[in-house]
Amino acid sequence: MRVDNLTHTLFGATLARTPLGRAGRGTLPALLIASNAPDIDIVAALGGGTKTYLAWHRGPTHGPIGVVALGLVTAGLVWFGRTALDRKRPPGNPSSADASFLMLACISIIGVVLHVLMDLPTSYGTRLLSPFSWRWFAFDWLPIVDIYLMMALVAGLVVGELTKASRRRIAAIVLALVAANYGVRAVAHAQAVTLAPQLFGQRFGEPCDPGTATIDRTLAAWPRQNGAAPATSGRTCLVEVAAVPTFMSPFRWRVIAHLSNGYELHDIDVLDARSRHGSDADVFWRRTVRYPNQWTPPTFVAATAPSASVFLGFSRFPAARTFADPSGTTTVRWTDMRFVAGPSSREEPRSPNIFNVMVQVDRSGRIVREQLGR
């Protein structure tokens, strides 16, 4: 799950129509490969399944070492591929000037860096500092697939084919529209988190830790101590609030309030006047979905299971539910609140996903079963 590779490919093709494309032959394939290279980590799912995929996805290939290494590998592939084609080229059939290996390396590194920077504003996030740090970072501005970003890139490439003399100018316009899209989403995100206290009313609660900011207005980072609820002497308090984007509109957001005993989800349209002036009587508008987060002794045992450890290292808002059967076996299930249906679920897919884990613990505290995904 990431900014889709079609968007990365379209962005790479658009970059090739900027002054970067003047570097010489090989620039286009270098940008196309580099724009997708960090997602080579998806091969981890082929050998190790879902658990390995979550453990490694957006890891070292999205970190500083991976950026440089993938840039050099991409440049080498393009260089050798171009050389192989030149050997098959008929004599006397000159080609355009070749980009040097150093130029290909620089362009490829730029392509890889921009891939990572496109992943960072999504609510899925990326591990910018891996392998030195495995923490996730995100700005929460864009959904995994941004249809408006994709449409702008497609339109620019199509129009550029029809008016080839204006390709670079059209590419510049498209990149300006892309920047404007990011800007609009950043402003709308800030507005959504600012309005969060009004959405939940008195249920918003006091911060569990008064010395820690509870609202993610800029760059979010996780995980937090495996997602366990803090000790609060029985009172309900606020751990964190975040606003994540929805699929169809840059003005509709899912606000997630992480409380000491659960999560509350609310959908908001920042253009709706009720967001600013709604009263307690606006019951439908302020409809909220609540998910419990129960950390019992078996929950802490289940959290040590390999699948649970990987999931809790990935999940930003893991909600734990516990069920005990008559035999004494306890089933613990965690679900990431970023990927569940909320109060207005028309935009939320209901298909199965990998963003939950189940662990069973027997009466003696032994882990007897674990399963990632459903």
Amino acid identity at 13: A
Environment class of residue 164 by beta-carbon count within 10 Å: exposed (0-12), middle (13-18) or buried (19+)? exposed
**Which residue ranges make up each domain of the chain?**
5-188, 195-372
Confidence check: pLDDT of 202 > 70: no
Average per-residue pLDDT for the chain: 86
Give the global pTM: 0.89
pLDDT digits 0-9 by tens, 169-201: 999 999 999 999 999 999 999 999 988 887 776
Band (pLDDT 50/70/90 cuts) for residue 208 is confident
Confidence check: pLDDT of 238 > 90: no
pLDDT digits 0-9 by tens, 128-140: 999 999 999 999 9
Confidence check: pLDDT of 241 > 70: yes
Confidence check: pLDDT of 35 > 90: yes
Query: In this predicted structure, what is the pLDDT of residue 135?
Result: 95
